[in-house]
Amino acid sequence: MRQRMTGTLPSDIDVLIVGAGIAGASLAAELAPHRRVLMIEAEDSPGYHATGRSAAFWQESYGGVGVQPLTAASFDTLA
């Protein structure tokens, strides 16, 4: 459910995710069945920045040393 936030964060959440790009949205999707998740986004719509510009091309060597293992691990999910 989309809501504009005002004031303080709700107290009945377990996980706060800042940013509704692919990273935040993926994490929220994984955690939501197990935890009470709140995802917040600064823009009016999710995926507005890098995620919305992605060509959605999967390449194992993409990114630096911190990203490449995550890319490789995502293969089975995306294949």
Ligand X SMILES: Cc1cc2nc3c(=O)[nH]c(=O)nc-3n(C[C@H](O)[C@H](O)[C@H](O)COP(=O)(O)OP(=O)(O)OC[C@H]3O[C@@H](n4cnc5c(N)ncnc54)[C@H](O)[C@@H]3O)c2cc1C
Site residues for ligand X per CB under 6 A? 18-24, 40-43, 48-51, 53-57, 62
For residue 1, the minimal CB distance to ligand X (Å) is 17
CB of 14 or CB of 23, closer to ligand X: 23
* Whole-angstrom distance, CA of residue 60 vs CA of residue 18: 26
For residue 6, the minimal CB distance to ligand X (Å) is 14
Name which of 42, 31, 78, 77 is nearest 57 in CA terms: 78
In the chain the first and final C-alpha atoms are separated, in Å, by 29
For residue 74, the minimal CB distance to ligand X (Å) is 9
